[in-house]
Amino acid sequence: MSDMTYTRMGNSGLVVSRLALGTMTFTHGSDWIPGVAKVGLNDAQRMVDVALDGGINFFDAADGYSNGEAEDILGKTLKGKRNDAVICTKLGFRQSDRVTDAGLSRGHILSSVDGCLKRLDTDWIDLLVLHKTDFSTPMEETLATLQAVIDAGKVRHIGISNWPAWKVAQAVQFQRDNNMSQFVAEQYLYNAVSRDIEMDILRMGAELGLGLMAWSPLAGGLLTGKYDLTKLEDSDGRLAEGDFLQVSKEQAQAAITALTAAAESHNATPAQIAQAWILNKRRDHTVIIGASKLSQLETGIAAANIVLSDKEMAALDAAAAPGRRYPEWFDDMMKDELFAKVLA
């Protein structure tokens, strides 16, 4: 029995490991983001086996990763082990030059789900996540179609990724009003230096019963501390593809300094502390590990049980704290002191 910890995904009965193996790096040779997608079938098989042996039961994919090749590889590597795995996959990004081959319309969702099932070589998807917003399709159509694939037994749970908070709240209210299956997962960019979602997304998720799946927990490798922040274009991997995550170099350096200090007291690496910081935030947080080497996955698994003290968490929180935005600072400035006193 491994030392992996588990949680229920949001307000659902779906039990997942708090680490998920991401498959964005899996490819049969596609030229899709060359600096990222470079793990072939044989290496992917070793990774999946090590993940399962380490207690990971949660696997994250998308129909857009290497044009569907990542799903195909994941399906092959889980052959004969399907009941040991919880598969999350995503849809919504453009798949071809055909005008209708994108978005969250009824037609595209139905065809995409069937494509995902075929590539994954499975009869069901444990968690289907909407990868991006689609403001051109009526929300009612999208949600009704999700209910249809759930009722058909093709999908068991649903979630969203990269949506604004107001749109998620609107959708969940519609689901509640119409007795539909509700979103149980939210997949967002979150790490020690990319913390925009702390203002409203995380609070919204806690209120609505959405479990967090944090993507890019190392900020594309930036938080490993291995790279010269002034010469990222010379690095390998995702960082060489450009500043996709729009990270402040000053905040990144502050975060790396704090992560390195915490790592020394735990005999760990800054990367492991970066993952542990997210997991220590809340019990229902999960972290997606995107590994291009087996050693990276093994290091990530070893970080699953690092417990950070309140003092260490406070230091990491303060290192690269996001600027306070309106109306957050306004609420604090206009706090009613009399209410605060008599209602304490």
Active site residues: 65
Helix (H, G, I), strand (E, B) or coil at 87: strand
* Phi and psi at residue 333, to the nearest 5°: -65, -35
CA distances (Å), 37 to each of 14, 41, 51, 65, 110, in order? 29, 12, 19, 8, 27
Placement of tokens 């995107």 in the chain: 290
Write the burial class of residue 317 (CB in 10 Å: 0-12 exposed, 13-18 middle, 19+ buried): middle
Q: Which of 116, 89, 92, 95 is nearest to 103 (CA)?
A: 92
Judge whether 95 and 101 are in contact, CB under 8 Å.
Answer: yes
Q: Which of 222, 169, 168, 232 is nearest to 193 (CA)?
A: 222
